Amino acid sequence: MSYNSKKNTMFNTPDAEVKWSSIDSPDDYAGALSHQVVVWLDDDFKADLIKRAGEGAHINGMGRQDSTGREFIKFKTTVFTREGKTRMERVYDAAGSITEATPMGGDTVRVRVSGPVPARNKPNAVSFFLNAVQIIAKQERDMSGGSPFAAVEGGFVGEEPAFEAVTEAAPAPVAAPAPVVNAEAPVVADDLPF
């Protein structure tokens, strides 16, 4: 199969569960910054991709999770990173409106895909590329900020973050605390690691 630069077919996937995505920040894979959405495959979805790719074609980005045996497919794009953008801009909500939300593992999405595109460097292989994402349903997540850890006696205890009301005037500068001096080994500013 040789590379063909003609315009590719665009289609929407069926509803699929997100395994992982990098929409807010591109992923650096094999030297190319790209935005990605990885979704779990069911039998019908996989059969449709195979039909579109052609019987016997290798589909780039399709794989199987070792620990569970579940199959997935990765769709990616470099369109936005080539334009110098950090976030992928074509993310839509269930009503079809642009959203700043990001699909996360367990969410349900539809993906707008371009392809199949014959691979340039692998005979009999094709790729499907990410064009847009529609978030159909978001999983409820605990955003209470509670800790998943139990206290550790004698361990590190940080300071509570201080949140102050926003005012129009700039806050006064805060003086750095004086370094603690040990009588046996005095600490001077040049010895501090920060």
Average pLDDT, the chain: 78
114-132: average pLDDT: 88
Q: Is the pLDDT of residue 96 over 70?
A: yes
pLDDT at 51: 94
Is 73 in contact with 113 (CB distance < 8 Å)?
no
Query: At 109, is the pLDDT very low, low, confident or very high (cuts 50, 70, 90)?
Result: very high
Note whether 103 and 18 are within 8 A (CB): yes
Mean pLDDT to the nearest integer, 82-86: 76
**Is the distance from CB of 36 to CB of 19 less than 8 angstroms?**
no
Are 179 and 187 contacting, i.e. CB atoms less than 8 angstroms apart?
yes
Q: Please state the rounded mean pLDDT for residues 109-126.
A: 89
Full-model pTM: 0.67
User: What pLDDT score was predicted for residue 50?
Assistant: 94
Task: Give the percent of the chain with pLDDT over 70.
Answer: 68
**Strands 108-118, 32-40: pairing kind:** unpaired
Share of the chain above pLDDT 90, in %: 40
Residue 153 reports pLDDT greater than 70? yes
pLDDT confidence of residue 125: 93
Residue 152 confidence (pLDDT)? 74
pLDDT of residue 2: 38
Q: Do residues 169 and 114 touch, judged by C-beta distance below 8 A? A: no
- Angstrom distance (rounded) from CA 46 to CA 69: 14
More confident residue, 143 or 2: 143
User: 């998943």: which residue's tokens?
Assistant: 148
For residue 107, pLDDT over 60 is answered with yes
DSSP structural state of residue 191: G
pLDDT tens for 21-67 read 988 877 776 667 788 899 999 999 999 999 999 988 999 999 999 99
